[in-house]
Amino acid sequence: MRHRRPARLAVVATLATLAPLTPLTLGSPAIAATSAPTLSNPGFEDGTTGWTFTSGTGVATNAPHGGAMLAYLDAGSGNKVAQTITASGDGTYDFSAWIATGGSGGRFVAQVNGAQAGAVDLPSRSGYARYTISRVSLKSGDQLELAFESGSSWVNADDIMVSPAAPVDPEISSSDPRIVEMFNWSKRKANSWVQMPGTTGPLNVDEGNRSGTGTGTYGPSYWAGYAHRSAYYSRDMAHQLAGASIIGLNDANKAMLRAFAGSATSEHKYYPVWAVNFDNKTYLSIDYRSPTSFVREVPATFELVEKAEHAYRWSGDSAYVHDGTLWDFYKHATKDFVELHDANKPNGVAEGTGNGIFAGAASYNEVGEEHLAESGDSIGSQYQAYRAMSDLAAAKGDKTLSKKFQQKADSLKAYFNDTWSGSGSGADMVRGYTTDGKALTGWGKENSWFMPMKQLINPGARADAYLDYVDEQASGSGKPSNIEAISYLPDTFFAYEHNDTAWKWMQYVYDKRNDQHPVSKQGPNGDYPEVSYTLLSQTVEGLMGVQPNAPGRALNTQSRMPAGMGWLQIKDIRIGGNTFTLRQDGATQSTLTNATGSARYKWEARFPGSHSTIKVNGVPQRAKTKTVNGKTCTYAKVSVAPGQKVTVQVS
Q: Are residues 215 and 198 in contact, defined by beta-carbon separation less than 8 angstroms? A: no
Cite the beta strand spans of 39-106 per DSSP E: 52-53, 57-60, 70-73, 80-86, 91-101
CA torsion sign for 76, 81, 86, 91 is negative
Q: Given strand 578-585, what is the order of strands in its sheet?
A: 171-174, 567-575, 578-585, 589-596, 645-650, 613-616, 619-622
* Least trusted range by pLDDT, from 20-24, 153-157, 218-222: 20-24
Using a CB cutoff of 8 Å and minimum separation of 24, what contacts does 415-423 make? 415/347, 415/348, 416/379, 416/383, 416/451, 416/456, 416/457, 417/456, 417/457, 417/458, 420/347, 420/349, 420/374, 420/379, 421/376, 421/451, 421/457
Q: What does the alpha-carbon distance between residue 284 and residue 263 come to, in Å, rounded to a whole number?
A: 12
Which pTM was predicted? 0.94
Rg (CA), the chain: 24
Q: What does the alpha-carbon distance between residue 101 and residue 92 come to, in Å, rounded to a whole number?
A: 28
297 secondary structure, DSSP code: B
Looking at the predicted structure, is the pLDDT value of residue 564 above 50? yes
The band of 368, judged by pLDDT with boundaries at 50, 70 and 90, is confident
The band of 34, judged by pLDDT with boundaries at 50, 70 and 90, is low
Q: What does the alpha-carbon distance between residue 302 and residue 9 come to, in Å, rounded to a whole number?
A: 12
What is residue 380's predicted lDDT score, i.e. its pLDDT? 98
Looking at the predicted structure, is the pLDDT value of residue 20 above 70? no
**SS3 (DSSP) at 267:** coil
DSSP bridge partners of 144: 85, 112
Q: Are residues 151 and 74 in contact, defined by beta-carbon separation less than 8 angstroms? A: no
Query: DSSP letters of 306-364?
Result: HHHHHHHHHH-BTHHHH-HHHHHHHHIIIIIHHHHT-SSS-SS-----SS-TTT-BSSS
**Where does 356-436 have alpha helices with state H?**
376-396, 399-415
Looking at the predicted structure, is the pLDDT value of residue 13 above 70? no
What is residue 35's predicted lDDT score, i.e. its pLDDT? 77
Number of neighbouring beta carbons within 10 Å of residue 79: 22
Mean pLDDT to the nearest integer, 253-261: 98
User: Closest Cα partner for 536 from 245, 253, 243, 247?
Assistant: 243
Q: Are residues 276 and 222 in contact, defined by beta-carbon separation less than 8 angstroms? A: no
Looking at the predicted structure, is the pLDDT value of residue 7 above 90? no
Q: Are residues 354 and 435 in contact, defined by beta-carbon separation less than 8 angstroms? A: yes
User: Closest Cα partner for 311 from 65, 574, 591?
Assistant: 574
Note the Cα 359 to chain centre separation in Å.
26
Q: Are residues 148 and 159 in contact, defined by beta-carbon separation less than 8 angstroms? A: no
Q: Per residue in 404-456, pLDDT tens?
A: 999 999 999 999 999 999 999 999 999 999 999 999 999 999 999 999 999 99
For the chain, the average pLDDT equals 94
The band of 273, judged by pLDDT with boundaries at 50, 70 and 90, is very high
